[in-house]
Chains A and B, each alone.
Chain A
Amino acid sequence: MTVVTDPARPVAVPDEPGTPVRKRRRGTFSFNAMSPTEKVVRYVLLVFVLLITIGPFLWQLSTSLKGSGEDIYTRIPRLLPGQPTLEHYGAVADTIPVWDYMRNSLQVAVLVVGGNIIGSSLAGFALSRLQFKGRKLVLGLFLATLVLPGEVTIISQYVTVREFGLANTLFGVALPGMIGALNVLLMYNAFRSLPIEVDQAAIVDGANVWQRFRYIALPSVRGTISVVAIFAFIGAWDDFLWPLIVLTDPDKYTLTVGLQYLSGTFSNNPRLIAAGTMIAFIPIVIVFAALQRFFFKGVEEGAVKG
């Protein structure tokens, strides 16, 4: 994601004559450190937003753990299950092949993540570090596709995949997303910010294109690669519309498509649906929580480099 930066640099404010030095120093001090009141207000607000953002997930988790004999329709909502049980997680697997769906989702996600890391770092490197005829044109093409919402072309994408004989296959689900234009541009941006002198020195030392890519450029853009990988994984794992269009056999469904099937057939048991949603939700939260360090670092890195 490119972020528009303000070119206007902050202007230094000239000292006002007669301003006591002590007052100024104290002002600066209180700006950096926080007053106890401000701290309390901030934490109260943070907790309030926390309840809004993760409250619904906790409520769903709680529903999924409540025993079958327990009344889940009480007027005073109870967050803690009275008779905690994991039986509904097993029951989901009895009604829909949820572990197969998960394996399908994982296959698609692995293909998409792998394709994007390889494809977009190769192209991003060539477009930013190598001189060749047509470079500008190719770059323009990548930029132009960003304007077009994916849903506009989804039908003819389906026709293309069908002509390849890949309709109703998991490979057909993964294929179009395996190299995303946005990811190519993200990698382009990351590689471009490396100093060109390093490349020139490597050329003098006799390093070829592949060596410069593998040993110099690639190790310096790990942050952006992890952002690409995280976004690709989340995108593939969470996608609903495209697999819904491509897949027709229930045994090939990905997790999101299968869940919708669960909701349609067993809408009378919220505990079961809750368990199903948690099966789809928990893996992505684990992946994100494990990698969030790289994610936030990568986001900031991208912003600074613009």
Chain B
Amino acid sequence: MRYQRWFSPWVLVVPALTWLLVFNLWPSINTVILSFTNARPIGGGTFVGLKNFEALLHDEQLRYALLNSVIYMVVCLPFLTIVPLALAVLVEKKLPGITFFRTAFYTPVVASAVVVALIWQWILDDRGLVNGMAEKLGVISGPLPFLSDQWLLLFSAISLTIWKGLGYYMIIYLAALGNVGRELHEAAAVDGASAFRRFTNITIPGVRGTMILIAILISVSALRVFSELFILSGGNGGPGGRDSSVVMLIQQYSQGFEGNLGYASALSIVLFFVTVVPMLALARLNRKAADA
């Protein structure tokens, strides 16, 4: 310890700590302060009391955005907690070429949400791949308006989010599967347990903690969705702006002459509470399951 002067740890910590304070902690506090002002994107702004929060109550767009968020979460949760686990089991075993498959399954994750949304925009277009094939097969007579109908657009964005998320959660499960006792599986196999029974009775309980962690990640990211809806709707939130998300509204108020950073901050506070609720609920579930 002779050579460790009292300040040397701090020299190493200070850069990261500065970033934390300036770009995480201070903005969190400042969001609350800003939400009581009418700050503009160009600068300035004065205290307006609770005016922004009153306006939130009458904001029709926000109601649609919240409804969309709930639908988004309810649909994404079951798909993204189960399917990636099955995928992880599929790529877990060492087989010739398995690294290629793992990497390929992960590709949608490394692609930008913008790129992904632009690709799917073309696939879901009136004259795109899906409509073309469906018409050819005689399933439909005219193109389905995936990108212009309020509900079809929302569900298109949801399927896109699910598609893009599969590989990400697969990798987390893959890491967790490494910790599920191999001996347990072997013993059960010897006792004649089928692959399906081993999956439900050994694998799933073994990754339960990871599953709840993933459920939290999925709900929070479903509530924060932006790029997919923004691009698929052409930036305007679909018909009548009914396909907006809360983050899209925040972005909308962040720029231009119509912009209002105070109102955007009030929306951010709504977003905070909306994401905290499922997080707390699932964390509680985790504790309960651990106690049982």
Known: A24-B190, A77-B129, A203-B1. A159 touches B114 (CB 8 A): no
Residues of B within 8 A of A226 (CB): none
Interface flags, A94-128, vs B, CB<8A=1, else 0: 00000000000000000000000011101101110
Contact B23 A160, beta carbon cutoff 8 Å? yes
Q: Considering the chains assembled together, what is the distance between the CA atoms of A292 and B114 in angstroms?
A: 22
Say whether A184 faces chain B, with CB atoms less than 8 Å apart.
Answer: yes
Contact B16 A120, beta carbon cutoff 8 Å? yes
Known: A24-B190, A42-B95, A181-B20. A132 touches B114 (CB 8 A): no
Residues B163-213 near A (CB distance < 8 A): 163, 166-167, 171-172, 174-176, 178-187, 189-191, 206-210, 212-213
Known: A159-B34, A285-B107. A151 touches B250 (CB 8 A): yes
Listed by A's residue number, 15 A-B pairs whose Cβ atoms lie within 8 Å are A6-B207, A49-B90, A123-B15, A152-B271, A155-B264, A156-B265, A156-B268, A203-B3, A234-B110, A240-B226, A240-B227, A241-B251, A263-B118, A270-B122, A273-B118
Contact B110 A123, beta carbon cutoff 8 Å? no
Report the minimum CB–CB distance from B252 to chain A (whole Å): 11
Residues of A within 8 A of B268 (CB): 151-156
Say whether B257 faces chain A, with CB atoms less than 8 Å apart.
Answer: no
Residues A15-30 near B (CB distance < 8 A): 24, 27-28, 30
Residues B58-114 near A (CB distance < 8 A): 87, 90-91, 93, 95, 99, 101-108, 110-114
Q: Considering the chains assembled together, what is the distance between the CA atoms of A302 and B179 in angstroms?
A: 12
Known: A160-B26, A296-B102. A155 touches B34 (CB 8 A): yes
Say whether A91 faces chain B, with CB atoms less than 8 Å apart.
Answer: no
Query: Interface size (A, Cβ < 8 Å)?
Result: 112
Specify the chain A residue showing the minimal Cβ separation from B175.
Answer: A303
Say whether B132 faces chain A, with CB atoms less than 8 Å apart.
Answer: yes
Residues of A within 8 A of B189 (CB): 27-28, 30-31
Contact A56 B119, beta carbon cutoff 8 Å? yes
Say whether A86 faces chain B, with CB atoms less than 8 Å apart.
Answer: no
Residues of A within 8 A of B183 (CB): 10, 12
B residues engaging A (CB < 8 A)? Answer: 1-4, 6, 8-10, 12-13, 15-17, 19-20, 22-28, 30-31, 34, 39, 43, 87, 90-91, 93, 95, 99, 101-108, 110-116, 118-123, 125, 127, 129, 132-133, 135-136, 163, 166-167, 171-172, 174-176, 178-187, 189-191, 206-210, 212-213, 220, 223-224, 226-227, 230-231, 234-235, 247, 250-251, 254-255, 261, 264-265, 268-269, 271-272, 275-276, 279
Q: Considering the chains assembled together, what is the distance between the CA atoms of A42 and B95 in angstroms?
A: 9
Say whether A209 faces chain B, with CB atoms less than 8 Å apart.
Answer: yes
Contact A138 B13, beta carbon cutoff 8 Å? yes
